[in-house]
Protein backbone atom coordinates (compact mmCIF):
# COMPACT_ATOMS: atom_id res chain seq x y z
CA UNK A 1 0.00 0.00 0.00
CA UNK A 2 1.46 3.33 -1.06
CA UNK A 3 1.73 6.17 1.40
CA UNK A 4 -0.38 9.26 0.73
CA UNK A 5 1.59 12.04 -0.95
CA UNK A 6 1.61 15.67 0.11
CA UNK A 7 0.67 18.27 -2.47
CA UNK A 8 3.04 18.36 -5.43
CA UNK A 9 3.67 22.09 -4.95
CA UNK A 10 5.09 21.37 -1.48
CA UNK A 11 7.65 18.81 -2.65
CA UNK A 12 10.62 21.18 -2.57
CA UNK A 13 9.42 23.34 0.31
CA UNK A 14 11.37 23.40 3.56
CA UNK A 15 10.01 24.58 6.88
CA UNK A 16 10.95 27.87 8.53
CA UNK A 17 13.62 27.17 11.11
CA UNK A 18 15.81 29.20 13.44
CA UNK A 19 18.48 27.24 15.33
CA UNK A 20 17.70 26.58 19.00
CA UNK A 21 21.11 25.75 20.43
CA UNK A 22 22.21 25.45 24.04
CA UNK A 23 24.33 28.58 24.48
CA UNK A 24 24.96 31.18 27.18
CA UNK A 25 23.99 34.15 25.01
CA UNK A 26 21.07 33.82 22.57
CA UNK A 27 20.80 36.79 20.22
CA UNK A 28 19.29 35.20 17.11
CA UNK A 29 15.50 35.48 17.31
CA UNK A 30 14.88 39.15 18.19
CA UNK A 31 13.25 38.35 21.52
CA UNK A 32 13.09 40.95 24.26
CA UNK A 33 16.29 40.78 26.32
CA UNK A 34 14.48 40.52 29.65
CA UNK A 35 11.18 39.18 30.96
CA UNK A 36 8.25 41.48 31.81
CA UNK A 37 8.29 42.95 35.33
CA UNK A 38 7.34 40.63 38.24
CA UNK A 39 4.13 42.63 38.69
CA UNK A 40 3.03 41.44 35.23
CA UNK A 41 3.54 37.78 36.15
CA UNK A 42 1.66 38.25 39.41
CA UNK A 43 -1.20 39.99 37.59
CA UNK A 44 -1.45 37.18 35.03
CA UNK A 45 -1.59 34.58 37.81
CA UNK A 46 -4.35 36.54 39.49
CA UNK A 47 -6.24 36.89 36.21
CA UNK A 48 -6.19 33.11 35.73
CA UNK A 49 -7.48 32.32 39.22
CA UNK A 50 -11.14 32.17 38.16
CA UNK A 51 -10.61 30.81 34.65
CA UNK A 52 -13.29 28.30 33.64
CA UNK A 53 -11.00 25.65 32.22
CA UNK A 54 -13.90 23.43 31.15
CA UNK A 55 -15.39 26.14 28.93
CA UNK A 56 -14.32 27.28 25.50
CA UNK A 57 -12.76 30.74 25.35
CA UNK A 58 -14.48 33.78 23.89
CA UNK A 59 -14.47 32.82 20.23
CA UNK A 60 -14.02 36.37 19.00
CA UNK A 61 -11.65 37.51 21.80
CA UNK A 62 -13.78 40.63 21.97
CA UNK A 63 -12.58 41.92 25.33
CA UNK A 64 -9.00 41.72 24.10
CA UNK A 65 -9.94 43.31 20.79
CA UNK A 66 -11.61 46.20 22.58
CA UNK A 67 -8.55 46.76 24.77
CA UNK A 68 -6.18 46.74 21.77
CA UNK A 69 -8.54 49.06 19.92
CA UNK A 70 -8.48 51.56 22.80
CA UNK A 71 -4.68 51.51 22.73
CA UNK A 72 -4.75 52.60 19.09
CA UNK A 73 -7.83 54.84 19.18
CA UNK A 74 -9.96 52.46 17.10
CA UNK A 75 -13.01 50.27 17.56
CA UNK A 76 -12.92 46.52 18.23
CA UNK A 77 -14.26 45.83 14.74
CA UNK A 78 -10.96 47.14 13.33
CA UNK A 79 -8.92 44.53 15.26
CA UNK A 80 -8.18 40.87 14.62
CA UNK A 81 -6.15 38.73 17.08
CA UNK A 82 -4.40 35.41 16.54
CA UNK A 83 -1.59 33.14 17.71
CA UNK A 84 1.34 35.39 16.98
CA UNK A 85 1.51 37.71 14.00
CA UNK A 86 2.35 34.67 11.85
CA UNK A 87 -1.18 33.32 12.24
CA UNK A 88 -2.49 36.81 11.56
CA UNK A 89 -0.55 36.84 8.28
CA UNK A 90 -1.68 33.33 7.45
CA UNK A 91 -5.32 34.24 8.00
CA UNK A 92 -4.97 37.24 5.68
CA UNK A 93 -3.50 35.01 2.98
CA UNK A 94 -6.23 32.39 3.43
CA UNK A 95 -8.88 35.06 2.98
CA UNK A 96 -7.34 37.11 0.18
CA UNK A 97 -4.81 34.90 -1.63
CA UNK A 98 -4.43 31.12 -1.97
CA UNK A 99 -4.54 28.98 -5.11
CA UNK A 100 -4.94 30.93 -8.33
CA UNK A 101 -3.78 34.21 -6.78
CA UNK A 102 -0.42 35.92 -6.42
CA UNK A 103 1.47 37.27 -3.39
CA UNK A 104 4.36 39.72 -3.74
CA UNK A 105 7.33 40.34 -1.46
CA UNK A 106 10.45 42.48 -1.74
CA UNK A 107 13.65 40.65 -0.88
CA UNK A 108 15.52 40.36 1.34
CA UNK A 109 12.70 40.37 3.86
CA UNK A 110 10.93 38.21 6.44
CA UNK A 111 10.97 34.69 5.02
CA UNK A 112 7.59 33.74 6.50
CA UNK A 113 5.75 36.08 4.12
CA UNK A 114 6.66 34.00 1.08
CA UNK A 115 6.50 30.75 3.04
CA UNK A 116 2.93 31.35 4.21
CA UNK A 117 1.90 32.31 0.68
CA UNK A 118 3.38 29.13 -0.79
CA UNK A 119 1.78 26.76 1.71
CA UNK A 120 -1.58 28.38 0.93
CA UNK A 121 -1.12 27.44 -2.72
CA UNK A 122 -0.60 31.00 -3.92
CA UNK A 123 1.93 31.96 -6.57
CA UNK A 124 4.75 34.06 -5.12
CA UNK A 125 6.68 36.79 -6.91
CA UNK A 126 9.67 38.58 -5.41
CA UNK A 127 10.90 42.05 -6.18
CA UNK A 128 14.38 43.11 -5.17
CA UNK A 129 15.49 46.02 -3.03
CA UNK A 130 18.28 48.49 -3.73
CA UNK A 131 21.77 47.77 -2.42
CA UNK A 132 20.98 49.82 0.69
CA UNK A 133 17.79 47.73 1.12
CA UNK A 134 15.42 50.61 0.36
CA UNK A 135 12.60 50.15 -2.15
CA UNK A 136 13.00 51.13 -5.78
CA UNK A 137 9.49 52.44 -6.49
CA UNK A 138 9.88 52.07 -10.25
CA UNK A 139 10.68 48.38 -9.86
CA UNK A 140 7.83 48.02 -7.38
CA UNK A 141 5.46 49.56 -9.90
CA UNK A 142 6.68 47.23 -12.66
CA UNK A 143 6.22 44.15 -10.46
CA UNK A 144 2.72 45.11 -9.35
CA UNK A 145 1.65 46.11 -12.86
CA UNK A 146 2.96 42.84 -14.32
CA UNK A 147 1.84 40.33 -11.68
CA UNK A 148 -1.18 42.15 -10.21
CA UNK A 149 -0.78 40.49 -6.79
CA UNK A 150 -3.77 39.99 -4.54
CA UNK A 151 -1.58 40.58 -1.47
CA UNK A 152 1.64 42.60 -1.15
CA UNK A 153 3.80 42.30 1.96
CA UNK A 154 6.02 45.10 3.25
CA UNK A 155 7.93 44.69 6.49
CA UNK A 156 8.84 47.94 8.27
CA UNK A 157 11.19 47.98 10.05
CA UNK A 158 12.27 45.29 7.63
CA UNK A 159 13.53 41.97 8.95
CA UNK A 160 16.43 41.17 8.63
CA UNK A 161 17.80 44.50 7.39
CA UNK A 162 16.24 46.91 9.93
CA UNK A 163 15.18 49.30 7.14
CA UNK A 164 12.31 51.66 7.98
CA UNK A 165 10.10 52.51 5.01
CA UNK A 166 9.15 56.18 4.73
CA UNK A 167 5.56 57.34 4.86
CA UNK A 168 5.86 58.59 1.29
CA UNK A 169 7.16 55.21 0.11
CA UNK A 170 4.40 53.17 1.74
CA UNK A 171 1.77 55.62 0.54
CA UNK A 172 3.07 55.22 -3.01
CA UNK A 173 3.07 51.43 -2.81
CA UNK A 174 -0.44 51.45 -1.34
CA UNK A 175 -1.71 53.47 -4.30
CA UNK A 176 -0.07 51.00 -6.71
CA UNK A 177 -1.55 47.99 -4.90
CA UNK A 178 -5.03 49.48 -4.82
CA UNK A 179 -4.83 50.25 -8.54
CA UNK A 180 -4.25 46.51 -9.06
CA UNK A 181 -7.22 45.65 -6.78
CA UNK A 182 -4.90 44.17 -4.17
CA UNK A 183 -4.25 44.40 -0.43
CA UNK A 184 -1.15 45.89 1.20
CA UNK A 185 -0.01 44.24 4.44
CA UNK A 186 2.53 46.26 6.43
CA UNK A 187 4.21 43.97 8.94
CA UNK A 188 5.17 46.08 11.97
CA UNK A 189 6.43 43.37 14.29
CA UNK A 190 9.08 45.94 15.30
CA UNK A 191 6.84 48.96 14.88
CA UNK A 192 7.31 50.37 18.38
CA UNK A 193 11.02 50.83 17.65
CA UNK A 194 10.29 52.85 14.51
CA UNK A 195 10.04 56.66 14.33
CA UNK A 196 6.66 56.39 12.54
CA UNK A 197 3.93 53.83 11.89
CA UNK A 198 1.75 52.96 8.91
CA UNK A 199 -1.14 52.90 11.40
CA UNK A 200 -1.49 56.60 10.52
CA UNK A 201 -2.51 55.58 6.97
CA UNK A 202 -5.35 53.26 7.99
CA UNK A 203 -8.76 54.21 6.66
CA UNK A 204 -12.03 52.38 6.16
CA UNK A 205 -11.75 52.96 2.41
CA UNK A 206 -8.11 51.88 2.01
CA UNK A 207 -6.92 48.34 1.23
CA UNK A 208 -4.34 48.36 4.01
CA UNK A 209 -3.73 46.39 7.19
CA UNK A 210 -0.95 46.76 9.76
CA UNK A 211 0.17 43.77 11.83
CA UNK A 212 1.73 43.86 15.29
CA UNK A 213 2.97 41.30 17.83
CA UNK A 214 3.31 40.98 21.59
CA UNK A 215 6.48 38.90 21.11
CA UNK A 216 9.04 41.70 20.81
CA UNK A 217 8.35 44.94 22.65
CA UNK A 218 5.89 43.39 25.08
CA UNK A 219 8.43 40.64 25.98
CA UNK A 220 5.83 37.90 25.45
CA UNK A 221 7.35 35.64 22.78
CA UNK A 222 6.34 32.64 24.87
CA UNK A 223 2.66 33.62 24.69
CA UNK A 224 2.41 33.72 20.86
CA UNK A 225 -0.03 36.60 20.51
CA UNK A 226 -0.38 39.00 17.59
CA UNK A 227 -2.97 41.22 15.97
CA UNK A 228 -3.75 43.49 13.06
CA UNK A 229 -5.64 46.69 12.55
CA UNK A 230 -7.54 47.30 9.34
CA UNK A 231 -10.88 48.29 7.85
CA UNK A 232 -13.94 46.61 9.33
CA UNK A 233 -14.93 44.98 6.04
CA UNK A 234 -11.58 43.22 5.89
CA UNK A 235 -11.60 42.05 9.50
CA UNK A 236 -15.05 40.55 8.91
CA UNK A 237 -13.59 38.40 6.10
CA UNK A 238 -10.83 37.10 8.38
CA UNK A 239 -13.38 35.88 10.90
CA UNK A 240 -14.81 33.63 8.17
CA UNK A 241 -11.64 31.58 7.66
CA UNK A 242 -10.00 31.43 11.10
CA UNK A 243 -10.51 28.23 13.08
CA UNK A 244 -13.11 28.37 15.88
CA UNK A 245 -11.79 29.06 19.37
CA UNK A 246 -8.29 29.47 17.95
CA UNK A 247 -7.19 31.94 20.65
CA UNK A 248 -7.10 30.25 24.04
CA UNK A 249 -8.41 31.84 27.22
CA UNK A 250 -4.99 32.02 28.91
CA UNK A 251 -3.54 33.98 26.03
CA UNK A 252 -6.48 36.36 25.92
CA UNK A 253 -6.14 37.18 29.62
CA UNK A 254 -2.37 37.55 29.41
CA UNK A 255 -2.80 40.00 26.54
CA UNK A 256 -5.28 42.03 28.55
CA UNK A 257 -2.89 42.19 31.51
CA UNK A 258 -0.02 43.28 29.27
CA UNK A 259 -1.97 46.32 28.12
CA UNK A 260 -1.89 47.56 31.72
CA UNK A 261 1.91 47.76 31.43
CA UNK A 262 2.29 50.19 28.54
CA UNK A 263 4.75 52.36 30.46
CA UNK A 264 7.01 49.37 31.17
CA UNK A 265 6.88 48.45 27.48
CA UNK A 266 7.86 51.96 26.42
CA UNK A 267 10.75 52.02 28.90
CA UNK A 268 11.92 48.66 27.53
CA UNK A 269 11.86 50.03 23.99
CA UNK A 270 13.84 53.13 24.98
CA UNK A 271 16.50 51.03 26.73
CA UNK A 272 16.86 48.72 23.72
CA UNK A 273 17.19 51.65 21.32
CA UNK A 274 19.95 53.15 23.48
CA UNK A 275 21.79 49.83 23.65
CA UNK A 276 21.33 49.38 19.90
CA UNK A 277 23.24 52.60 19.34
CA UNK A 278 26.11 51.39 21.51
CA UNK A 279 26.28 48.12 19.57
CA UNK A 280 26.29 49.94 16.22
CA UNK A 281 29.22 52.12 17.31
CA UNK A 282 31.16 49.10 18.60
CA UNK A 283 30.58 47.04 15.46
CA UNK A 284 31.68 49.92 13.27
CA UNK A 285 34.83 50.31 15.36
CA UNK A 286 35.61 46.65 14.68
CA UNK A 287 35.54 47.38 10.95
CA UNK A 288 32.19 45.71 10.26
CA UNK A 289 29.76 47.03 7.69
CA UNK A 290 26.69 48.06 9.69
CA UNK A 291 23.30 48.99 8.25
CA UNK A 292 20.96 51.51 9.95
CA UNK A 293 18.27 49.77 11.99
CA UNK A 294 14.91 50.89 13.25
CA UNK A 295 14.32 47.59 15.06
CA UNK A 296 15.76 45.63 17.99
CA UNK A 297 18.45 43.98 15.88
CA UNK A 298 21.40 44.97 13.68
CA UNK A 299 22.47 43.55 10.34
CA UNK A 300 26.23 43.60 9.87
CA UNK A 301 28.95 42.09 7.71
CA UNK A 302 32.26 41.19 9.37
CA UNK A 303 35.26 43.04 7.89
CA UNK A 304 36.40 41.34 4.69
CA UNK A 305 40.07 42.03 5.35
CA UNK A 306 40.04 39.54 8.22
CA UNK A 307 39.50 36.77 5.67
CA UNK A 308 36.54 35.18 7.47
CA UNK A 309 33.24 34.30 5.81
CA UNK A 310 30.02 35.04 7.67
CA UNK A 311 29.40 31.32 8.16
CA UNK A 312 32.81 30.91 9.80
CA UNK A 313 32.27 33.89 12.10
CA UNK A 314 28.88 32.47 13.10
CA UNK A 315 30.42 29.07 13.89
CA UNK A 316 33.20 30.61 15.97
CA UNK A 317 30.71 32.70 17.92
CA UNK A 318 28.74 29.53 18.69
CA UNK A 319 31.99 27.94 19.90
CA UNK A 320 32.16 30.84 22.35
CA UNK A 321 28.54 30.14 23.41
CA UNK A 322 27.09 33.15 21.57
CA UNK A 323 24.30 32.60 19.03
CA UNK A 324 23.36 35.18 16.41
CA UNK A 325 21.33 34.72 13.19
CA UNK A 326 23.31 33.46 10.24
CA UNK A 327 21.96 35.24 7.16
CA UNK A 328 25.18 34.89 5.19
CA UNK A 329 23.66 32.60 2.56
CA UNK A 330 20.42 34.53 2.08
CA UNK A 331 19.84 36.28 -1.22
CA UNK A 332 21.34 39.77 -1.15
CA UNK A 333 22.95 39.23 2.26
CA UNK A 334 26.27 37.61 1.34
CA UNK A 335 28.42 37.21 4.43
CA UNK A 336 25.96 39.02 6.71
CA UNK A 337 24.92 38.21 10.26
CA UNK A 338 22.05 39.62 12.32
CA UNK A 339 22.40 40.21 16.04
CA UNK A 340 19.51 40.88 18.40
CA UNK A 341 20.04 43.69 20.89
CA UNK A 342 20.28 41.94 24.24
CA UNK A 343 21.11 43.03 27.76
CA UNK A 344 24.29 45.05 28.26
CA UNK A 345 26.02 41.96 29.63
CA UNK A 346 24.87 39.80 26.71
CA UNK A 347 25.96 42.42 24.21
CA UNK A 348 29.37 42.66 25.87
CA UNK A 349 29.72 38.87 25.67
CA UNK A 350 28.89 39.06 21.97
CA UNK A 351 31.38 41.88 21.33
CA UNK A 352 34.08 40.05 23.27
CA UNK A 353 33.48 36.87 21.27
CA UNK A 354 33.42 38.74 17.95
CA UNK A 355 36.56 40.72 18.81
CA UNK A 356 38.36 37.53 19.78
CA UNK A 357 37.22 35.80 16.59
CA UNK A 358 38.40 38.63 14.36
CA UNK A 359 41.71 39.19 16.16
CA UNK A 360 42.60 35.52 16.18
CA UNK A 361 42.00 35.39 12.43
CA UNK A 362 45.05 37.61 11.91
CA UNK A 363 47.08 36.54 14.94
CA UNK A 364 46.69 39.91 16.68
CA UNK A 365 46.19 40.41 20.42
CA UNK A 366 42.57 40.87 21.40
CA UNK A 367 41.36 44.43 21.91
CA UNK A 368 37.84 45.51 22.81
CA UNK A 369 36.19 48.18 20.67
CA UNK A 370 35.63 51.61 22.27
CA UNK A 371 32.67 51.96 24.59
CA UNK A 372 32.61 48.32 25.70
CA UNK A 373 34.99 48.46 28.65
CA UNK A 374 33.80 46.93 31.89
CA UNK A 375 34.74 47.51 35.52
Residue spans per domain, the chain: 19-33+263-361, 39-260
In Å, how far are 203, 217, 317, 355, 360 from 364, measured between CA atoms? Answer: 58, 39, 18, 10, 6
Whether the predicted pLDDT of 363 surpasses 60: no
Please give the Cα distance from 273 to 294 (Å, whole number).
Answer: 8
Averaged pLDDT, 125-141: 96
Of the ranges 123-132, 247-256, 327-336, 357-366, which one carries the lowest mean pLDDT score?
357-366
CA angle 237, 111, 243 (to 5 degrees): 30
pLDDT of residue 362: 65
Whether the predicted pLDDT of 14 surpasses 80: no
Q: Classify domain 19-33+263-361 at the CATH topology level.
A: 3.90.1150
pLDDT of residue 11: 76
Averaged pLDDT, 204-217: 98
CATH 3.40.640.10 given to domain 39-260: yes
Nearest to 75 by CA among 246, 263, 230: 230
Gyration radius of the chain's alpha carbons: 22
Please give the Cα distance from 236 to 230 (Å, whole number).
Answer: 10
What backbone torsions phi and psi does residue 156 show, to the nearest 5 degrees?
Answer: -145, 120
Q: What is the DSSP string of 13-54?
A: -----------SEEESS---SSPPPHHHHHHHHHHTTT--TT
Of the ranges 47-56, 132-141, 275-284, 298-307, which one carries the lowest mean pLDDT score?
298-307
Whether the predicted pLDDT of 13 surpasses 90: no
Averaged pLDDT, 322-330: 95
pLDDT of residue 101: 98
Q: What is the mean pLDDT of the chain?
A: 94
Tens-place pLDDT, residues 168-182: 999 999 999 999 999
Amino acid sequence: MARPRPRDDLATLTGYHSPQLSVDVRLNTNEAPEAPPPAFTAAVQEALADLEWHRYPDRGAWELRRAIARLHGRSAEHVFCANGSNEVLQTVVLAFAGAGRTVATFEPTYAMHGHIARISGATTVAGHRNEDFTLDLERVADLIDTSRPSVVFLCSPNNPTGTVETEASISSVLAMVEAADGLLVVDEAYGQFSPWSALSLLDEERSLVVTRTFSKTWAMAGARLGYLLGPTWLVAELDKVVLPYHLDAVKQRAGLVALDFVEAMEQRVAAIVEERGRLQVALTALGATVWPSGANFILFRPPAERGLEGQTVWERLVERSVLVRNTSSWEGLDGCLRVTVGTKDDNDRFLDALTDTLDRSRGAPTSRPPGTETG
